[in-house]
A and B are shown apart, each in its own frame.
Chain A
Amino acid sequence: MDYSALIACHECDLLQRRVRLHGGAVARCRRCAAELYRDSPHGIERSLACTLAALLLFLIANAYPIVGLEVQGNRQEASLYDTVHTLWIQDRKDVALLIAVTTMVAPAIEIGLLLYLLFPLQLNRLAAGAVPILRFLDTVHPWSMMEVFVLGILVSLVKLEHLAHVEAGIALWAFGGLIPVLIAAANAFNSDEIWAKVSVLR
């Protein structure tokens, strides 16, 4: 028997038969309505495009200052790295690490591994170690918190407005652009299809 025709809901374990989907439709569990799988037209191409855009924006977000502050002619700028570095030298290494992991390390790993998987997959080839990498991506994903960081920037800007003149840096725009790109990437990435493709290519 071909068990790939069956699916067990990952939230309530109800066993269901797969149906073929068209036009970007989503299959939901008939008992708990969890999303089981979906049809994502050109899913791999779209994920690849979104991930490349995310890489570009992520590099800009890391390379340029997020905000500038001007007090009595003094100008101070802070980049993402500065936030980690300052906490580190203030001996708040634990908080520094938490910020580094959630805004730099996890997003970088996620973007890097996705590109490493998706480029060969697009050409119907399988990257070495694709299976453990796909599993690892599930573990990394919750710790990548760039969208929360963007909200953090906005709140800090308002808090500082009362103290000094604040200016948005280039990285702020890059961060702002990352949010829709990340949402689009998450929508395009169809892990069910990718797992199926991986098992065919192996």
Chain B
Amino acid sequence: MSRSALTAAQLGYYGCHACNLVAPVQPGRHDAVCVRCGHHLHLRKPDSVTRSWAFLIAGYILYVPANVLPIMHTSSLFGAQSDTIMSGVVYLWTSGSWHLALIVFIASILVPSAKLLAMTFLLLSVQRRSVWDPLQRTKMYRIVELVGRWSMLDIFVVAILVALVQLQSLATIEAGLGAVAFGAVVVLTMFAAMEFDPRLIWDPQGGRRG
């Protein structure tokens, strides 16, 4: 379905990324500033794709130690134990808390992996100027932005366990290197999603509907 609608960019208007005010900008000008909020005006977030890739690739690299290295070391009278993210989920599952196992599995394993894959897909589709279902891709981006933060769950759990068990003679819990890597993956993928500009999904469409 096609419809005579135009984007701000096609008409030479810039929508301010900070305060959303629309203003006309002469072609070729790069020093324009929003009259309302002073933000530098640009059509799309600058170097959005390159920056997003950089954060995403760093995220992929740290994804490996985040899942392989232990996020937590427990030592007690009964021996020492190291837990990775996956073994933490398995522990919850086998100890009968299957609902919590499910929550942690979604937050710590499903969300980070799906987020890396979704951002890869979005970046590739934008680079190839794909016209495939922009509405679905925009929705995908919205979900990525919405759920990414929930992956911090396991880091918070480790921090609380560490603090609570600290002074007990019974046991000590220490955060492992896996927690550092995992925290970094969450932060890096959040940056990747922030740098991505969803307008790029629609640019190959012109003013057409999705």
A contact set with B: CB distance below 8 Å:
3-4, 6-15, 30-34, 37, 66-67, 69, 71-72, 74, 76, 78, 82-87, 90, 92, 94-95, 98-99, 102-103, 131-132, 134-135, 138, 142, 145, 148-149, 151-156, 158-160, 162-164, 192, 195, 198-199
Q: Determine whether the beta carbon of A31 is less than 8 Å from that of B5.
A: yes
Given A12-B134, A69-B165, is A153 in contact with B13 using a C-beta cutoff of 8 Å?
Answer: no
Q: Determine whether the beta carbon of A95 is less than 8 Å from that of B153.
A: no
Q: Determine whether the beta carbon of B159 is less than 8 Å from that of A95.
A: yes
Q: Determine whether the beta carbon of A66 is less than 8 Å from that of B160.
A: yes
- Judge if B112 is at the interface, Cβ distance under 8 Å: no
From B92, B95, B103, B199, contact of A151 by CB (8 A): B103
Q: Mark B1-39, 1 if CB is under 8 A from A, else 0.
A: 000011111010111011111111000000000001111
Q: Mark B171-210, 1 if CB is under 8 A from A, else 0.
A: 1001100011001000100100010001101110001011
From B14, B164, B190, contact of A69 by CB (8 A): B164
CA–CA, A154 to B21, complex, Å?
42
Which residue of chain A lies nearest to B19 when distances are taken between CB atoms in the complex? A195
Q: Determine whether the beta carbon of A162 is less than 8 Å from that of B95.
A: yes
B contact set with A: CB distance below 8 Å:
5-9, 11, 13-15, 17-24, 36-39, 91-92, 95, 97, 100, 103-104, 107, 134-135, 138, 141, 149-150, 152-171, 174-175, 179-180, 183, 187, 190, 194, 198-199, 201-203, 207, 209-210
Besides the contacts A151-B103, A152-B155, what 10 more A-B pairs have beta carbons closer than 8 Å?
A: A12-B198, A13-B202, A14-B207, A15-B7, A31-B209, A32-B134, A32-B202, A98-B187, A151-B150, A152-B152
Most buried by B among A3, A10, A76, A155: A155
Q: Determine whether the beta carbon of A8 is less than 8 Å from that of B194.
A: no
Q: Determine whether the beta carbon of B149 is less than 8 Å from that of A142.
A: yes
- Interchain nearest-CB distance for A103 vs B (Å): 8
- Interchain nearest-CB distance for B203 vs A (Å): 8
CA–CA, A13 to B98, complex, Å?
44
- Interchain nearest-CB distance for B89 vs A (Å): 11
Q: Which 10 A-B pairs have the closest CB atoms?
A: A152-B156, A8-B15, A8-B8, A78-B163, A12-B202, A13-B7, A156-B160, A83-B159, A83-B163, A82-B163
Contacts of A31 in B (CB 8 A): 5, 202, 209-210
- Interchain nearest-CB distance for A107 vs B (Å): 13
- Interchain nearest-CB distance for B171 vs A (Å): 8
12 pairs, CB–CB < 8 Å, chain A vs chain B: A7-B15, A11-B138, A66-B160, A67-B164, A86-B163, A95-B180, A148-B156, A156-B160, A158-B92, A160-B165, A195-B20, A199-B21
Given A15-B6, A32-B202, A145-B152, is A195 in contact with B163 using a C-beta cutoff of 8 Å?
Answer: no
Q: Determine whether the beta carbon of A156 is less than 8 Å from that of B8.
A: no
Which residue of chain B lies nearest to A72 when distances are taken between CB atoms in the complex? B170
CA–CA, A142 to B186, complex, Å?
12
Which residue of chain B lies nearest to A195 when distances are taken between CB atoms in the complex? B19
Contacts of B166 in A (CB 8 A): 76, 78, 82, 86
Which residue of chain B lies nearest to A11 when distances are taken between CB atoms in the complex? B198
Given A12-B134, A148-B149, is A99 in contact with B155 using a C-beta cutoff of 8 Å?
Answer: yes
Q: Determine whether the beta carbon of A158 is less than 8 Å from that of B8.
A: no
Given A12-B138, A12-B199, A15-B7, is A7 in contact with B22 using a C-beta cutoff of 8 Å?
Answer: yes
- Interchain nearest-CB distance for B13 vs A (Å): 6
Q: Determine whether the beta carbon of A98 is less than 8 Å from that of B155.
A: yes
Contacts of A162 in B (CB 8 A): 95
Contacts of B160 in A (CB 8 A): 66-67, 78, 83, 152-153, 156
- Interchain nearest-CB distance for B79 vs A (Å): 14
- Interchain nearest-CB distance for B183 vs A (Å): 5
- Interchain nearest-CB distance for A5 vs B (Å): 9
Q: Determine whether the beta carbon of A199 is less than 8 Å from that of B36.
A: yes
